[in-house]
């Protein structure tokens, strides 16, 4: 018996040794492979400075011509891989998701407290728990509960546009913020909602700077995170921590106070009253999940709706076709509702084309690898930041449909296969946007309601000067255009429907 145990031990030991050796040989073999190509490097700083914002996606798409689908940057202790093809995005971020689902380390972001919200957490226990909460409140079945609120906010937007159409930039921004605050916390318009929007906007500004690695010295030299509290970035971090604390706590406490049967339906209310099983530390995690929403939603929705306004002002023929479909299917005596979506193929094509023509997040949200890897003969070291340049996918050369033209028809042509933007616009793998079903409903109701109520046209002088800006979200700078009611009857319809709104 003893002899048998001894032999078994030797066999197990040999197998383990073989496994370790094979793994070692594989990894050291992999390390001898080249990293993917990229711009020329300098000592210490490598080529990392060549990544530079703003609108880095244009530069990355140009680099594709020289270096191909994978463009590699390194320096200052960081490695970054820009991925330019859908095939490679799918292979790395989707099929090998286990290795590619961490997020970049943001030293300032962590000092500011962003690591409490799961969109910025690594692929670990905290992320898993908050993601489960997000899924429970944003699944296709759950988002049906928010449809009336979304319709009310869209009607509120068109009503405000009747009064001050020239303010369309800020009104769309407020409506995009409103939709997320209303759905997350169930608050009604008024000072308290505006206070939450202000806090969340401030947190968004902080996040916008925290994700740019060159803004704060501590992200270049991580040891500086231990610098004393009087150092300027530490003071900014302390202020930011307070803002993030308020963002996570103030609206949450408001919902809790209302819980005793009076809280309107919302993501927080749903999670507190009917939480998924096995979530420890529920309240803190609901705060983190809810706090992620504003950052994730407001700018993406705002960017997409503004892009749509620009596209309509530039393409009156497409606008007429879209309005004709709404008039035919929805009729003239009511505004569209989310249930109309399956019956409006041209509007759905306009939405897809809006997402393709100017993707809100042209570089998605960066992932980070948690292990060494090899792809197409190249070595990708552990901790590489992986950026999906979906802009390059959106503007891939096409023999039939010019990529720069706004042509919803490309999505209605069965004879010519095109990639649906929903396969790349919402990210990849285990980190794919959990709010995509809600986002599709929001875009639909904003766009269909605007088309039903207004004509969108160039300004009086006929010139549209539109410029895009942004590091991660592709936002339009203010531009002029005219938004006028399609008729007096439509204006009355908007007023009458707005009077019925619950929010």
Q: Interface residues with ligand HEM (CB under 6 A)?
A: 118-119, 131, 134, 138, 292-293, 296-297, 300-301, 304, 360-361, 364-365, 367, 425-428, 431-435, 438-439, 443
> Cα separation of 430 and 118, whole Å?
12
HSE of 436 in the Cβ direction (CA atoms, 13 Å)? 13
With 0-12 CB in 10 A as exposed, 13-18 as middle and 19+ as buried, what is 216?
A: buried
Question: Residues 241, 111: contact at Cβ < 8 Å?
Answer: yes
Q: How far is the CB of 137 from ligand HEM (least distance, A)?
A: 8
Calculate the alpha carbon distances from 263 to 47, 195, 213, 280, 365 in Å.
53, 18, 40, 23, 33
> Cα separation of 476 and 479, whole Å?
8
Q: Residue 380, SS3? A: strand
* DSSP characters over 24-90: HHHHHHHHTSPPPP-S--BTTTBTGGGG-SSSHHHHHHHHHHHH-SEEEEEETTEEEEEE--HHHHI
Please, which residue, 147 or 227, has the CB nearer to ligand HEM?
147
Of residues 466, 385, 474, the one with CA closest to residue 54? 474
> Cα separation of 365 and 442, whole Å?
21
List the end-to-end C-alpha distance of the chain, in Å, as a whole number: 77
Question: Looking at residue 94, what DSSP letter applies?
Answer: I
Please, which residue, 92 or 237, has the CB nearer to ligand HEM?
92
Beta-bridge partner residues of 482: 457
Q: How far is the CB of 197 from ligand HEM (least distance, A)?
A: 15
Q: How far is the CB of 410 from ligand HEM (least distance, A)?
A: 19
Compute the radius of gyration of the chain from its Cα atoms: 25
> Cα separation of 156 and 160, whole Å?
6
Please, which residue, 386 or 493, has the CB nearer to ligand HEM?
386
β-bridge pairing 468-469 and 475-476: antiparallel
Of all residues in the shown chain, the one whose CB is closest to ligand HEM is: 435
Q: How far is the CB of 301 from ligand HEM (least distance, A)?
A: 5
Please, which residue, 36 or 359, has the CB nearer to ligand HEM?
359
Please, which residue, 255 or 494, has the CB nearer to ligand HEM?
255
Q: Is 433 annotated as a binding residue?
A: yes
Q: What is the 3-state secondary structure (H, E, C) of 128-172?
A: HHHHHHHHHHHCHHHHHHHHHHHHHHHHHHHHHHHHCHHHHHHHH
Q: Residue 270, SS3? A: helix
Question: Residues 471, 297: contact at Cβ < 8 Å?
Answer: no
Task: Compute the C-alpha angle 419/423/426, nearest 5°.
Answer: 140
Question: Looking at residue 461, what DSSP letter applies?
Answer: T
Annotated binding-site positions: 433
Detail the residues annotated as belonging to a binding site for heme: 433
């Amino acid at each position: 018996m003893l002899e048998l145990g001894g032999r078994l031990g030797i066999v197990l030991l040999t197998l383990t040794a073989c496994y370790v050796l094979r793994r070692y040989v594989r990894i050291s073999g992999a390390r001898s492979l080249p990293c993917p190509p990229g711009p020329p490097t300098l000592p210490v700083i490598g080529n990392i400075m060549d990544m530079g914002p703003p609108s880095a996606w244009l530069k990355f798409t140009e680099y594709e011509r020289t270096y191909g689908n994978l463009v590699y940057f390194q320096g200052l202790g960081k490695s970054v891989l820009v991925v330019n093809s859908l095939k490679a995005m799918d292979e790395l971020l989707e099929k090998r998701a286990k290795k590619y689902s961490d997020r970049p380390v943001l030293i300032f972001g962590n000092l500011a407290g962003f690591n409490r919200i799961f969109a910025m957490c690594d692929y670990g226990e905290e992320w898993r728990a908050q993601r489960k909460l997000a899924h429970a409140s944003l699944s296709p079945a759950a988002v049906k509960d928010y449809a009336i609120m979304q319709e009310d906010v869209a009607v509120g937007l068109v009503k405000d546009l009747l009064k001050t159409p020239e303010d369309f930039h800020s009104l769309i921004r407020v409506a995009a913020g409103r939709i997320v605050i209303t759905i997350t916390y169930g608050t009604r318009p008024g000072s308290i909602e505006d206070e939450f929007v202000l806090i969340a906007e401030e947190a968004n500004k902080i996040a916008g700077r925290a994700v740019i690695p060159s803004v704060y010295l501590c992200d270049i030299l991580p040891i500086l995170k231990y610098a004393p509290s009087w150092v300027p970035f530490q003071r900014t971090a302390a202020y930011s921590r307070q803002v993030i604390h308020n963002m996570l706590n103030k609206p949450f406490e408001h919902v809790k106070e209302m819980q005793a049967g009076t809280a309107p339906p919302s993501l927080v209310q749903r999670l507190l009253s009917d939480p998924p099983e096995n979530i420890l530390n529920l309240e803190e995690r609901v705060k983190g999940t809810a706090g992620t929403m504003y950052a994730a939603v407001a700018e993406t929705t705002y960017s997409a709706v503004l892009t749509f306004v620009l596209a309509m002002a530039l393409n009156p023929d497409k606008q007429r076709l879209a309005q004709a479909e709404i008039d035919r299917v929805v009729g003239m005596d009511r505004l569209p509702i989310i249930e109309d979506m399956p019956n409006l193929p041209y509007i759905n094509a306009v939405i897809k084309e809006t997402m393709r023509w100017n993707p809100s997040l042209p570089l998605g949200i960066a992932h980070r690898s948690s292990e060494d890897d090899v792809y197409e003969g190249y070595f990708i070291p552990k901790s590489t930041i992986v950026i999906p340049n979906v802009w390059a996918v959106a503007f891939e050369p096409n023999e039939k449909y010019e990529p720069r033209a706004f042509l919803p028809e490309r999505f209605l042509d069965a004879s010519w296969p095109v990639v649906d933007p929903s396969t790349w616009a919402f990210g990849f793998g285990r980190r794919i946007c959990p709010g995509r079903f809600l986002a599709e409903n929001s875009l639909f109701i904003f766009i269909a309601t605007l088309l039903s109520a207004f004509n969108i046209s160039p300004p009086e002088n006929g010139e549209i000067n539109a410029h895009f800006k942004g590091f991660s979200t592709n936002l339009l700078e203010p531009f002029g255009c005219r938004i006028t009611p399609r008729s007096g009857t439509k204006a009355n319809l908007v007023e009458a429907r707005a009077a019925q709104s619950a929010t």
